[in-house]
Structure 1
Amino acid sequence: MHWLYLCLAIIFEVGGTTSMKLSEGFTRLYPSILMIAFYLGSFTFLTLSLKNLDVSVAYAIWSGVGIVIITLIGFFMFHEKLSIVKAVSIILILIGVVVLNMESNHSSIEETIEIEEIN
């Protein structure tokens, strides 16, 4: 369930950031209201996911995947430029998120083995 909460947190964060862009500096009412609602939802689901996930892993995935999705939305929806440096940086972020998640899984396996050895 914690992974579902994290996915929802990412979706709401992306909605909030997109609404932030559409609010044009709080000059448009509905996108401004949506931004606040989306971020409230995002932080709620992120907090729920932290009951069972390490904060370092959850935050890295939340922010890293959010960055990638927002970059794609910026490119396709807002016609922002995507340079080689941006693309390589995003790939490095994704690699970092994957490695951090693998390390987290590896650590939890080691903890389980250590607990079993003690017993």
Structure 2
Amino acid sequence: MPWILLACAIAAEVFATSMLKTTQGFTRLWPSVAVILGYAAAFYLLSLVVRTLPVGPVYATWSALGTIAVTVIGVFFFSQHLRPWQTAGLVLTVVGVVLLNLGATTHDHDTAASNRSDPSEVSAHSANLHDR
């Protein structure tokens, strides 16, 4: 379920970012409202996802896939042109996200879940790290 919420958060962020151009500097009301609602939905959904999944891989996935999707939308709807090295950068972004998510262990998932249940554990863990 968290991965479905992450996909929805990415979609909301991509929608909002893609609509930014149509706001004309937030001078047009309805496109501006759409952007604000899109970003609000994206961050709300993202906050639900990081309750159960580790924040690092989640944020990397969210920002990278959002960047790629907005770039593709720019190419197809806003006549943006990509040079070969820009395309290579997008491919490397995908590779980086895949590698980062492969590195996310079950331990990371368990830690995220336990931190959600008792915020004082985070403070105690931070204090232990400072004492080292």
Q: How do 1:30-49 residues align onto structure 2 when only pairs under 5 Å count? A: 30-49=30-49
Q: How far apart, in 1, do the equivalents of 2:93 and 2:109 lie?
A: 27
Query: Which amino acid counterpart does residue 80 of structure 1 have in structure 2?
Result: Q
Q: 1:28 to 1:74 in 2, by over 3 A?
A: same
Percentage of matched positions with identical amino acids: 36
Q: 1:108 aligns with which of 106, 109, 128?
A: 106
Corresponding position of 2:81: 81
Alpha-carbon distance, 1:111 to partner:
8.8
Amino acid at match of 1:61: T
Runs of 4+ aligned residues of structure 1 deviating over 2 Å after TM superposition are 109-112
Q: Is the 8 A contact 2:54 2:109 kept in 1?
A: no
TM-score by length of 1: 0.87
Q: Does 1:26 find its partner at 2:21?
A: no
1:54 aligns with 2:54: yes
Q: Report the CA distance between 1:30 and its aligned residue.
A: 1.1
TM-score, L = length of structure 2: 0.79
Cα drift, residue 6 of structure 1: 0.5
